[in-house]
Structure 1
Amino acid sequence: MQRRDFLRNGSAAALGGAALAAPARAAARPRLRVGVIGTGLRGQPQLQLLLHRDDVDVVALCDIEPLMLKQALARVEKAGKPRPQVFGENGDVQAWRQLLELKDLDAVLIVTPWEWHAPMAIAAMEARVAVGCEVVAGITLQDHWDVLRTQQRTGTPYMLLENVCYRRDVMAVLQMVRAGLFGELVHLQGGYQHDLRAVKFNSGDPARPYGGGAEFGAKGWSEARWRTEHSVRRNGELYPSHGIGPCAMVANIHRGNRFTHINSFASKARGLHEYVEAQGGKQHPNAKVRFALGDLVTTTLACENGETIILQHDTSLPRPYSLGFRVQGTKGLWMDVNQSVHVEGISPPHRWEPFAKYGAQFDHPLWKKYAASAEGAGHGGMDFFVIHAFVEALKADAPMPIDIYDAVAWSAITPLSEQSIAEGFRTLAFPDFTEGQWKTRQPIFAFDDRY
């Protein structure tokens, strides 16, 4: 879509219809009262960003790990902010429900193990507390429908906190797509290609590395306590949003386009087993574990407008980190692995050009405006932008840039990929969560210049 067309279409009025989410609460607000559920190794950086803001009061924290709560409270104290109410200190896994009962709570960040996301988000929306959820909306396909129906019924704002959509090069490429440099889009790629072997076997205890038995995270604060179990019992595209988010953004998914079909293939599982044996020996208890997750899971999606998208989940083998992005159209392409661009008629024939000059030319207005504020924030500044977007949209009572339909469709790739693999790599029809409204919804989530 040309930038001029995007701006013109973006001014269209919000759409009605029974299938669309109900409007958010009408009153804009200058300050927000926010709670954080989950103060672990991901929750604390998000908490820190909230503490840096003058328009947010962090009024509640919830976690069942005393060490994590202690560290989170130390961050609050160091920031010179009032001590929030604390829930879960006694290990009560349902303490988050008490947090949601707080008076005048505007929003909550859900930064917990994945299986808690759907029930926590549903309960928060029932309580009319806006949700910022860390990138997995649910486990089963039914979870995703339940989250969607709750949001539609209550009208409570919900945003998937997918930070890679705000990566600087990704947003510059979005600008290039808007300007028509790549012509008509044909094919997109992305994924989660990240060697997580050390993460999955970090017990949190220097005396017991690589975990013990089925309890991988012995000390409790390690991701291995919950994340590794997904590799033991599930085989699919387990973490799709980092890859699919930017692809969906440039393809205008749910804004004139949609996913129509999906299939997934999984390789054999060898990497995690070999890692345990190499690090802990063949007699280590975890050497007996058999992992369901294929070392490389490849998922293909077809789109209504004819584009194809490939996602790859690759976390069990040695490799440098990469999300493997590729944006390709009739006039050229960008690939992030080699940070290169080729544009027909501009680049030398059959030659790559460095992305840097294009990145500078098409730098997104948000990065131009907030680069200094984002400096030092997690993941190269991306974390600043996603939290900023959530807060500013909620304050203005504006639509969420990454909304409920994006959240459930991106996240539902996981159970659909599991089903495809389990059924012999079968191609499945992709659910239309918008129930036909994708044809006319305004393209707000391609990020206007406000947030």
Structure 2
Amino acid sequence: MDHSPRRAFLRQAAVLGAAFSILSQGFLRASSSIRIGIIGCGQWGRDCLGHALRHPGVQVRALCEPDAVQRALALSSCSFSSPSLCTHWQQLVQRKDIDAVLIATPWQWHGVMALAALRAGKHVLCGPVAATTPQGHDALALASLQHGRQYITLNETDFHEDQQALQQMVKTGLFGDILQIHTGVHCAQLPGHRYALQGASSAVSMLGVDTANPFVQLSLRKETMEYITQRVGRKGQPYLVHQHGRLPVLEATTASGQSLKLQAGHMGQSPVAIGFRLQGSKGQWLESGRVLQRTEMLACHQWEAGRPYLEAHKPISSLPASALAFDHAIASLKTGGPTADALYQTLAMSRLQSFARKTLRSPDATLQLPAWIRD
């Protein structure tokens, strides 16, 4: 009796079975819920909790909040789930039933909590400030790569409708090669005292900054530029005006010679905003007036209204920017482990600011940035 057909069939069945097993496991990993714990239930923490509770791919397993009032407010929104309560954040990061830790505490705590979570084998979702020192950022990068867990920055300014439209314009090559970006306080945020840099993290990706094109130099100086500030009329009504003046600017230079200029602290009584400006080899973008200049298609450096371009490239979503940032982070967690380039981009802005705080003490100071993450 010839058993060769049977043997061939069994071999094929074994191969197919293994293949289906691998595919099934991959599908389950991609489709299974991300189990998260949240440290901090203040306003931002509760906002993140709300995004997590509505997301079909997320389970909120634990909360940590020492303040009884804030804790009660957070629990009141968990009508269809019952997350555990942890009395200390270290208990939460050590839990075996959690895949990721979302840190929504004051920024001074971010670094130590994120490092502990990564070393405990947890992914980390955190605000724009990752750590307070350059060494703290080095430790986060090393822990992320060593333990195969992602560190993701939740920066909702990158997901504002206009900012996303601008990112899409850059991707389509509308401005050519990006040479320089200015970013600071958006004029719509005035008045106020402390602001996040508008689109600062997205500027890193627009410039194509990564391990092959890192930031290599950081300088602090004053430059004469146009800015927007707030005035108060005779009847007490505030209004915005354009002015020219000298402002402190933090400039980061990439290995390929590109420039990222960040609005530094302003010592005047009235807050100012430089908005968002982008210069490419084929055109420019000025955020405060939402106008576009494309030197390749328009003669004599003429200007166009930018609103039609924003409308043509805006994302199709009704969700707020904070919800989009959260959803993007969850989607990133399901793609696998960290990569050096993604890690560099998500930590780059926070690391630059840590160098600025600790090293650049006087105007016209320049610092050569040491090598960091290597692919």
| Secondary structure of residue in 2 paired with 1:83 | coil
Greater relative CO, 1 or 2 (CA 8 Å, sep 6+): 1
**Structure holding more strand per residue:** 2
Distance 1:401 1:46, change over 3 A: farther
1:143 is aligned to 136
2:344 is aligned to 405
1:339 is aligned to 290
2:333 is aligned to 394
Q: Deviations over 1:25-53 (max 9, x none)?
A: x9445112111111112111111111111
* Contact preservation (8 Å) 2:33, 2:57: yes
- 1:36 and 1:323 map into 2 onto residues whose CA distance is 35
| Partner residue of 1:385 out of 318, 324, 327 | 324
In the TM superposition, 1:130-169 aligns within 5 A as: 130-169=123-162
1:245 is aligned to 201
In the TM superposition, 1:268-307 aligns within 5 A as: 297-307=248-258
In the TM superposition, 1:8-27 aligns within 5 A as: 27=29
- 1:49 and 1:165 map into 2 onto residues whose CA distance is 17
The residue type equivalent to 1:68 in the other structure is Q
- 1:125 and 1:60 map into 2 onto residues whose CA distance is 17
| Partner residue of 1:318 out of 253, 259, 270 | 270
2:56 is aligned to 54
> What TM-score does the superposition give when structure 1 sets the normalisation length?
0.65
In the TM superposition, 1:31-110 aligns within 5 A as: 31-77=33-79, 81-88=80-87, 95-110=88-103
Gaps spanning 5+ residues in structure 2: where?
Answer: 1-27, 224-245
Q: 1:253 Cα deviation (Å)?
A: 0.4
Q: 1:399 Cα deviation (Å)?
A: 5.3
- 1:266 and 1:63 map into 2 onto residues whose CA distance is 42
- 2:92 and 2:266 map into 1 onto residues whose CA distance is 34
Pick the structure with greater CA Rg. Answer: 2
The residue type equivalent to 1:410 in the other structure is M
* Contact preservation (8 Å) 1:163, 1:386: yes
In the TM superposition, structure 1's runs of 4+ consecutive aligned residues that sit over 3 Å from their partners are 26-29, 192-198, 313-320, 345-351, 398-403
In the TM superposition, 1:408-447 aligns within 5 A as: 408-422=347-361, 425-435=364-374, 437=375
Gaps spanning 5+ residues in structure 1: where?
Answer: 1-25, 89-94, 201-237, 268-294, 375-380, 438-451
* Contact preservation (8 Å) 2:41, 2:74: yes
* Contact preservation (8 Å) 2:211, 2:341: no
| Secondary structure of residue in 2 paired with 1:42 | helix
Would you say how many aligned residue pairs link Structure 1 and Structure 2? 323
- 2:337 and 2:141 map into 1 onto residues whose CA distance is 18
| Partner residue of 2:107 out of 96, 107, 114 | 114
- 1:340 and 1:255 map into 2 onto residues whose CA distance is 33
Q: Deviations over 1:272-304 (max 9, x none)?
A: xxxxxxxxxxxxxxxxxxxxxxx9642011111
The residue type equivalent to 2:202 in the other structure is P
Q: Deviations over 1:2-37 (max 9, x none)?
A: xxxxxxxxxxxxxxxxxxxxxxxx944511211111
Q: 1:55 Cα deviation (Å)?
A: 1.9
- 1:399 and 1:255 map into 2 onto residues whose CA distance is 13
- 2:299 and 2:40 map into 1 onto residues whose CA distance is 51
* Contact preservation (8 Å) 1:259, 1:301: yes
Distance 1:55 1:408, change over 3 A: closer
Question: CA RMSD of the aligned region, Å?
Answer: 2.8
- 1:56 and 1:419 map into 2 onto residues whose CA distance is 38
